[in-house]
């Protein structure tokens, strides 16, 4: 008997991808939106629409990337990587006010272990644990419903009369149509 009698939620692949794209695009970019808001004068409708379009663009880009990864069954892995990278970037942007750009990534790769351990704190572990590791756990815990296709599942009646559900080679269909295939 398990301590947590929770059943795994089952969602479609599209719902799964959109939910995690929204989480990454909205929740894990709050530090970015917080820095952009004072810099963008939101005194006109145009500027408000520009600011409100930023999460929409982030969600759309994340959804496109994860959808492309889902064709190769890599959606969970890609979502996990994006969540962990976004959560750590958000922590450093929020606490240190840094901007993550190409030179910052180069500096990260050149960092020594002593410098890395100097940045570790209880707050960092808590933030990355709640916004990153917990979300990755949920991403792997959620069960994705397999799509019901006509060719893998039970074929509808209009296909059964031609024998498509019984014979995948197509020979039975051609025999039914009396095209002279032995």
* pLDDT tens track for 100-135: 888 888 888 888 888 888 888 999 999 999 999 999
Domain locations along the chain: 10-145, 150-182
Which has the closest alpha carbon to 26: 95, 143, 18? 18
Q: What angle do CA 45, 48, 50 make, to 5 degrees?
A: 110
- Rounded to two decimals, what is the model's pTM? 0.75
Task: Indicate the burial class of 28 (C-beta count within 10 angstroms; 0-12, 13-18, 19 or more).
Answer: buried
Is 70 exceeded by the pLDDT of residue 87? yes
Cβ-proximal residues to 163 (8 Å cutoff; 6+ apart), any chain? 172, 173, 175, 176
- HSE-up of 120 (CA within 13 Å, CB side)? 7
Q: Terminus-to-terminus CA distance in the chain, angstroms? A: 59
> In this predicted structure, what is the pLDDT of residue 88?
93
């Amino acid at each position: 008997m398990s301590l947590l009698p929770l059943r795994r939620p089952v969602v479609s692949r599209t719902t799964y991808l959109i939910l995690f794209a929204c989480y990454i695009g909205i929740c894990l970019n709050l530090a970015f939106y917080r820095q952009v808001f004072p810099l963008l004068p939101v005194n006109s409708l145009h500027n408000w629409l520009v600011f409100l379009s930023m999460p929409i663009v982030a969600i759309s880009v994340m959804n496109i990337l994860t959808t492309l990864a889902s064709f190769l069954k890599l959606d969970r892995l890609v979502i996990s990587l994006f969540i962990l990278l976004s959560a750590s970037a958000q922590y450093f942007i929020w606490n240190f006010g840094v901007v993550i750009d190409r030179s910052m990534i180069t500096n990260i790769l050149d960092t020594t272990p002593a410098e890395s351990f100097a940045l570790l704190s209880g707050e960092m572990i808590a933030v990355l644990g709640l916004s990153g590791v917990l979300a990755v756990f949920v991403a792997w815990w959620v069960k994705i419903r397999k799509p019901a296709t006509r060719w893998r599942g039970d074929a509808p009646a209009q296909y059964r009369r031609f024998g498509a559900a019984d014979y995948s080679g197509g020979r039975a269909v051609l025999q039914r149509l009396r095209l002279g295939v032995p």
